[in-house]
Amino acid sequence: MQLYLDDGSYIIVNEGIDCSLPLKAAIDNPTAWYVNAPSIEPVRANGWVGSVKEGGSVNFRDISFNPHGHGTHTECLGHITPEVYSVNGMVAKLFYTAEVVTVEPELRTNEDGLEDRIITAASLNGRLNGIQAEAILLRTLPNNENKQHQQYSDTNPCYCDVDLIPLLNQAGIVHLLIDTPSVDREKDGGKLAFHHAYWGVPGNERFDRTITELIYVPEEVEDGTYLLNLQTAPFVNDATPSRPVLYPIHRNAEEQ
């Protein structure tokens, strides 16, 4: 099945590329922010067990996880405001124009003597010049499969410099997606400088913007323009598990 866009280009609905990390109760589930692995356990009450394997009539399990620390998640400005706004409903459309950009982070030594890997305006090397899109997916190098199982706590992961904000503003970006645990440095004394600048908190709050962290863009996906279907679970919370799906855009041969 094909869905045609206003300019005559189209997407093929069965070509969606899942850029999320699955949630599972195992030690190789990716984690960040010092949380343990997620747990998925049968309900046990009054002699009944929610496990067919253990003699129950159905599988009926409780799931315990943290959306920020256990995989792909989308968050809103409620992550850093006194009033906890919900991300539910902030992804308002089925499809967004999106750019996939692979970036080699810049290396800097911080005040603690650690080597920071930072996505800066310079590291993007002008690749947002002239771009107009609603979403951007930042794929950091190296892009190995370890990202699907990484234990990020206390590893000083890659993060973003606030000098990206003007570039994102010029490009019209309202949904920022990245394959790291956070757009900010792991240990920054609670400043969260990029979060605050991106969402205009305080004083110029941007309720239309989201950040999606811990995505995984497969190696075979080329940089360029796509349509993004940003699927979010309807949790009333500042963050929720999500599933970004990319669709390649096709054009008729005579238009290429």
pLDDT tens digits, 103-141: 999 999 888 788 999 999 999 989 999 999 999 999 999
Q: Which residues contact 74 (CB under 8 A, 6 or more apart)?
A: 87, 91, 210, 211, 212, 230, 232, 239, 240, 242
User: Among 94-108, 111-125, 208-222, which is the least confidently predicted range?
Assistant: 111-125
Q: How far apart are CA 44 and CA 51, in angstroms?
A: 9
pLDDT value at residue 111:
81
Residue 256: per-residue pLDDT? 43
Whether pTM exceeds 0.85: yes
Does the pLDDT value for residue 254 go beyond 50?
no
Q: What is the mean pLDDT of residues 139-161?
A: 96
Q: What is the dihedral of CA 12, 13, 14, 18, to 10 degrees?
A: 110
Indicate whether 231 pLDDT > 90. Answer: yes
Please answer whether residues 74 and 211 qualify as being in contact, where contact means their C-beta atoms are separated by less than 8 angstroms: yes
Average pLDDT, the chain: 95
Q: Which domains does the chain have, with CATH numbers?
A: 2-25+67-255 (3.50.30.50)
Beta bridge partner(s), residue 39: 64
Q: Angle 98-101-102 (CA atoms, 0-180°, nearest 5)? A: 150
